[in-house]
Structure 1
Amino acid sequence: MISNSEIREGYLRIFIPLCAADLFLFFSVVMAMYTSYEYGHDAFWDIEFPNRSKTMSNESGQSICGTTNASVQGDQEEQIVQAVVSKWNLYISIAQGVPLIFSSLFFSSLSDFFGRRPFLLLGTLGVCIKYCLMTLAVIFQWNVYLFILFSFVDSLCGSWVTQLAIAMSILSDLTASGKSRSFFIAVFSFVFGLGFSLGSFLSGYMVTLLGYDYSMAIACGLSAIAFIITCFIPETLSNSQRKQNFSCMGNVKEIFRFYMKKDPTYAGFTRWKFITLILSFTLIMMSRLGSSAFETFYLLDSPFCFSPEKISIFETARTCISEIMILAFIKLMQRCLRDEVIAFLGSISSVALFIVFGIAPSTTFLYIAVIIGSIGMCSIPLIRGILSKMTPIHNQGVLFGGIAVVENICNLTGSIIGNAIYSETVSFYKGTAYLVFAGFLFVAMVLLMFLMKDTPQNYNRKGTVSSQTDLIN
């Protein structure tokens, strides 16, 4: 049960707008992501095969492979387009990922000095600017490679990565160290997961009914709503809780200190646990984000031949089932199991999902994978919560800044690995990338298993001590 003493008074007037802002933000992010993927896929058909009939493209709302899989030439053309669009997406990932390593690092750390609110606004603003530019590019049919530049601009503002890191820091400001923090992070993850579901569900229908231009414009409008709501979120870090001295190199050292040096304030928690948790987080996020970079192309191609609407339905059903199951699973399991054990069980589910996805010969296997992998991503909010509980309140921004950097590196390297493997193996075995990421998840599962060595007695004692310390501070 969650104690009232573990939650700051008046938290709802901060927590609810924060959830609403991220609901709209991730709604826009996912809608724009799928729209841009499908727009790029269609645009490269025109670039590579300009004389091809429009009825053979996705503008008809049908999967291209559904009309060409009986033709050897059609299969070869599809593989060419798949390879080119994967490389295009790879360049976008690099343009966004590399600057984000630095912006997410410094903005999140700066929030410990200047407060959370300015950088929460900046990250949301960057997303809004990006989608406004993409909307103009689709309407006026600018060069598709300009999407790389727009992603670069977004990354300079910190994008959703910094916004999410600051939001997690705000949740830490609102809650004391304990299971309440893990649960609130899980609830927050459920809310922006709901935005993810809405974006994936509506994107295909919007593209089919309204076209790429209106779909991207809607995504732009949703990000603008997120920015407006964010303007009303008050500051959560008081002046007395902020760090007094700022140093760029000092912030970098602070991030690495978690994994290189013990914190005497939290002597019960050892350095190896920080390292094990962040390595597990890295492998899980790399697999999750890396697979999303090519999954749309995977589903568009044979043997699945999904249309944009079917991709929307499938991804929405998958996300909704997963988010609901994760929230219920965490709430139920926290009554009798430690967070580390729950995360380990989730990693087993993730491994099974990726293996079945990789070997799936038909759509039926994809649905089976969704069921057995429904609790797979519960490891992410739990690892965030465990790390946060091990960290003093004045270092929450540094902690989540470091996590944001890791998350961005995972997004960058995962996308590079995923797109590179997929583009090179699409001609002979399309599921290879999923199987590679399943190997990453297996290693994460083994690492989480080591965390279970910590005894329940020590866990309860340390959790109580850290809770009391936070409340006193």
Structure 2
Amino acid sequence: MDKMTEDEKSPLLLPQQSVNSDIDVEVETLTQPEFTSKPDPPPLRWRHFLMSPCLAIHLYSYIYCNMVIGQYVYYDIAKQKYPDSSFLTNNGDSQCHTNKTSLAFIERTNIQKLTSDWLMLASVFSSVPAIVMDVVLGSFSDKYGRKPFVVISLIGTFLKTSLITIGISSGISFSYFLLFVGIEGLTGGWCLVLSLGYAYMSDLTVSGKSRTLAFTLVEISVGFGLVLSGVSSGYLIKDVGFVYSMIVISALNGLNLMIVLLFLPESLENSMRKATGVLNLIKSAFAFYTKDTSKDGKRWKYIILTLSYIALTMSLIGRETVEELYQLNAPFCWTSVKIGWFSSIGYIARNVIGLSSIKLLQCCLSDKVIVIVSGLSSVLAYIMEAFAVNDTMLFFVPAIGIFTMLASPVIRSILSKMTPPDQQGALFAGTAVIQSVCTVAADVISKSIYTATVGSFRGFVFLEFGGFSALMLVLFICFMIGCKLK
């Protein structure tokens, strides 16, 4: 740790100096001469750690709200389309008919397609405005600090959940929900808050394994929020219904906003803020990919690592709602409680146990090997999910995919090491834009595939997710080979 700190502060890292991994050697050697040393990060106070629960609550809200909306729309479409059908029981659970010629099976398949199409449209309304706002607000954080833009995004989320609560309670058409999710998109959404969380941790840490560990802790905090979202939403939907379920999350979002507004300190010191124009701030988010910032030429590294991150994101985004429809369908026909438990078990395995193991894995494996293990775990889990025919097979998926999330903090950490301290916000603004674009692309692709194949091979969409995981592996191996040959 001390050596890594020294390396960051020294004006030049000589070629013969060594660090803990081959990737670190390449990254440090190529980037260190290009920017002035970063001042010591501000001393950590307990209030700095409020960023972790902020992220946990925000991602909890995102998944929780998606699960409530998905099941509400599914149930409402079914009641509107087939009001006299035996397709649903009195409490909204789906009767499980597996005979493809039965009327109930045909009705369920039609509802699955309609719900999938509506959720795809909702993703477009939410993510398209976020693509623009993520790059603008994220880049501005390098000049004005991280906290103001976290607050703006939390306000958008609070408004979204509050308006959806009113919409469900008043019985208005769920078409209006598209406008409500669009409000969240205009304030950046979860992608912006998560990217600002990473920039926040970059401000408080030094380059090296300490930053990788900090990023991992962010992922674990998010994981706890995701774990709670599944179980709590399932039971609340069953016990108190959709309206009170949304009241709970709206109140929690309001509390999160107040805590951040009143107690979270700013992480970016005045000496590290960029004094530049608005247009230059926005351009800085894409400069890493359009020109070389080093005489040694490292643009190709940014491009390949970012493509690898895109493939990783495409394999993860859109999974939740497709899984929900998959589990509502035959031969599973799960209740909201069972869907919630599966979601939580998956997040416990991937985002808590899996990510918590990274420190142990770093004792015996290099970062590059950890990414490979992560990719293989993901591919095998998706194959199992695609061909699952009973509950037992489906519940094996989280165990097989336990290391799925390990690649994310490692790739982010490598990108962060390659980037000057005063451009961390721009870097993560770019990744937020990538996540927003991938959210739209992944939802459109995955839901289109699910709609097209639900009547023939309903698990085919998970092979698509597995294909993106395999692509991530190939791209990262190309990065490793390129670092060796350079």
**Aligned match of 2:391:** 363
Q: Tell me if the contact between 1:86 and 1:423 (Cα under 8 Å) persists in the aligned partners.
A: yes
Match 1:28 to one of 58, 61, 65: 61
Deviation at 1:453, TM superposition (A): 3.0
Relative to structure 1, the CA distance from residue 179 to residue 430 in structure 2 (aligned partners, 3 Å threshold; closer, same or farther) is same
Identity of aligned residues (%): 31
Deviation at 1:221, TM superposition (A): 1.2
Partner deviation per Cα, 1:96-130 (whole Å, 9 max, x = no partner): 11111100110000111111111010111111110
Distance in 2 (alpha carbons) for counterparts of 1:293 and 1:105? 26
Partner deviation per Cα, 1:412-464 (whole Å, 9 max, x = no partner): 10000011111111011101111122112111111111233367999xxxxxx
Deviation at 1:15, TM superposition (A): 3.5
Q: Superposition pairs for residues 67-216 of structure 1, below 5 Å? A: 72-216=102-246
Distance in 2 (alpha carbons) for counterparts of 1:166 and 1:151? 20
**Aligned match of 1:227:** 257
Deviation at 1:5, TM superposition (A): 5.9
Partner deviation per Cα, 1:25-46 (whole Å, 9 max, x = no partner): 2222221111111101101001
Structure 2: which amino acid aligns with 1:441?
S
Deviation at 1:14, TM superposition (A): 4.1
**Aligned match of 1:417:** 445
**Aligned match of 1:52:** 85
Task: Provide the aligned C-alpha RMSD in A.
Answer: 2.2
Q: Tell me if the contact between 1:92 and 1:148 (Cα under 8 Å) persists in the aligned partners.
A: yes
Distance in 1 (alpha carbons) for counterparts of 2:222 and 2:230? 12
Equivalent residues, number: 452
Are residue 353 (structure 1) and residue 381 (structure 2) matched? Answer: yes
Deviation at 1:234, TM superposition (A): 1.3
Q: Tell me if the contact between 1:340 and 1:451 (Cα under 8 Å) persists in the aligned partners.
A: no
Distance in 1 (alpha carbons) for counterparts of 2:4 and 2:420? 20
**Aligned match of 1:242:** 273
Relative to structure 1, the CA distance from residue 334 to residue 134 in structure 2 (aligned partners, 3 Å threshold; closer, same or farther) is same
Q: Tell me if the contact between 1:341 and 1:452 (Cα under 8 Å) persists in the aligned partners.
A: no
Distance in 1 (alpha carbons) for counterparts of 2:296 and 2:372? 21
**Aligned match of 2:477:** 449
Structure 2: which amino acid aligns with 1:28?
S
Deviation at 1:411, TM superposition (A): 0.6
Match 1:327 to one of 355, 358, 361: 355
Distance in 2 (alpha carbons) for counterparts of 1:285 and 1:274? 16
**Aligned match of 1:469:** none
Distance in 1 (alpha carbons) for counterparts of 2:206 and 2:5? 8
Structure 1: which amino acid aligns with 2:289?
Y
Gaps of 5+ in 2: 7-39
Relative to structure 1, the CA distance from residue 314 to residue 217 in structure 2 (aligned partners, 3 Å threshold; closer, same or farther) is same
Relative to structure 1, the CA distance from residue 381 to residue 419 in structure 2 (aligned partners, 3 Å threshold; closer, same or farther) is same
Partner deviation per Cα, 1:2-38 (whole Å, 9 max, x = no partner): 8896983532424421111122222222211111111
Distance in 2 (alpha carbons) for counterparts of 1:209 and 1:77? 26
Structure 2: which amino acid aligns with 1:36?
I
Q: Tell me if the contact between 2:97 and 2:105 (Cα under 8 Å) persists in the aligned partners.
A: no
Structure 1: which amino acid aligns with 2:180?
F
**Aligned match of 1:39:** 72
Structure 1: which amino acid aligns with 2:166?
L
Distance in 1 (alpha carbons) for counterparts of 2:370 and 2:482? 14
**Aligned match of 1:19:** 52
Are residue 300 (structure 1) and residue 328 (structure 2) matched? Answer: yes
Deviation at 1:58, TM superposition (A): 6.4
Distance in 1 (alpha carbons) for counterparts of 2:353 and 2:90? 35
Relative to structure 1, the CA distance from residue 59 to residue 215 in structure 2 (aligned partners, 3 Å threshold; closer, same or farther) is farther
Structure 1: which amino acid aligns with 2:412?
R
- TM-score, normalised via structure 2 length: 0.88
Relative to structure 1, the CA distance from residue 43 to residue 177 in structure 2 (aligned partners, 3 Å threshold; closer, same or farther) is same
**Aligned match of 2:12:** none
Relative to structure 1, the CA distance from residue 261 to residue 337 in structure 2 (aligned partners, 3 Å threshold; closer, same or farther) is farther
Distance in 2 (alpha carbons) for counterparts of 1:203 and 1:2? 45
Relative to structure 1, the CA distance from residue 58 to residue 104 in structure 2 (aligned partners, 3 Å threshold; closer, same or farther) is farther
Deviation at 1:69, TM superposition (A): 5.8
Are residue 433 (structure 1) and residue 458 (structure 2) matched? Answer: no
